[in-house]
Amino acid sequence: MEAGTWVALVLGIGGAGWAITQFFVTRKDTRERDERDRLGAQASAQHERDTELERRWVQEKRLIYVRTQTVLSDLLDARTDMLTKPVGSPERQAAIDTDNAASILMNSVHAEINLLAPDAVRDAVFAAEQALEEVGAALLIDGVRTPPDPIGAATESCRAALNAMRADLGIGPVRDWRTAIED
């Protein structure tokens, strides 16, 4: 065999070997890339599911906190009216009716707060309710000592409960408690 033939033969075998090696290396790289892409897609899908669950969770807590805020506001307004309206007046009777309805709603709020709210929110809501109950007891039961500023203490407790709920949702605190009547 001539030298040129040997060179062509060596180059041909070397080229074929290189091509076969490249085929298997590329095939391995393709498999690894496909696996990375598949795992990345799974991670992305899981992240989207987690984000959606977190969004739903925050939305559910927000709705519960809105109901809680509404009931506390109704109780505070009713107890304020019960303190300020004359005994036997239609306004006072309407306040008593509102108070009774809000007290019933507070039971369902308790269940949701107990189930889903963190301890800081639960404690603040129950402290606000306790302050409102003290006002109600002073109004409705003879011989119960009325605190010096019953509405002020109840208002402050309601504001603390509102701020605890806002903090749990990642919202800043409010300075004042305002009801729909005051706005």
- The number of folded domains in the chain is 1
Residue 13, in any domain of the structure: no
- Whether the per-residue pLDDT at 54 is higher than 60: the answer is yes
Instruction: Give the single-character DSSP code of 147.
Output: P
Per-residue model confidence (pLDDT) at position 129: 92
Dihedral over alpha carbons 127, 132, 133, 138 (to 10 degrees) = 130
pTM: 0.69
Rounded to whole angstroms, the Cα distance separating 149 from 39 reads 63
Name the percent of the chain lying above pLDDT 70: 91
Residue 26, in any domain of the structure: no
Dihedral over alpha carbons 105, 108, 109, 112 (to 10 degrees) = -170
29-38, 69-78, 123-132, range with the lowest pLDDT: 29-38
Domain boundaries, position 162:
56-168
- Say which CATH number the domain at 145 has: 1.20.120
